[in-house]
Amino acid sequence: MKGAMSRNLYLLAVSLLLCSLISCGISFLPNALQPGLPVNGSISKTIGLVLLLLSLLSALAGVLTAMFEQVERRSQERMRRELQEGLASLGRNKRPK
């Protein structure tokens, strides 16, 4: 279950990127194929750019989440290792000489 949040953000980024590419592709179709399309397809281009921006932000959030999860995991491992070393040294100090 580790890394599930960052994986979900990566999937969101990919799906937004795909929608962005589709939207930008629609803007290049001729007007005869789409009767309601504005003359230059500026709405489709704008929607594509907004979706691209959201995709990049989602990917950035995924990267940052993965980095913070890794830092937290390493911190927990270090604390666990220090605790085991501390308990081991306490056990050695209690033995009679």
Contacts 24+ apart (CB under 8 A), 45-48: 47/23, 48/20, 48/21, 48/23, 48/24
- Band (pLDDT 50/70/90 cuts) for residue 88 is confident
Instruction: Take residue 69 and report the two structure tokens written for it.
Output: 């999860």
pTM assigned to the model: 0.72
Here the tokens at position 20 are 């962005």
The structural domain count of the chain equals 1
pLDDT band at residue 95 under the 50/70/90 scheme: low
Confidence label for 68 from pLDDT (cuts 50, 70 and 90): very high
The mean predicted confidence, pLDDT, of the chain is 84
pLDDT higher than threshold 90 for residue 33: no
Domain with 52 in it: 4-93
Q: Which of 28-32, 60-64, 79-83, 84-88 has the lowest mean pLDDT?
A: 28-32
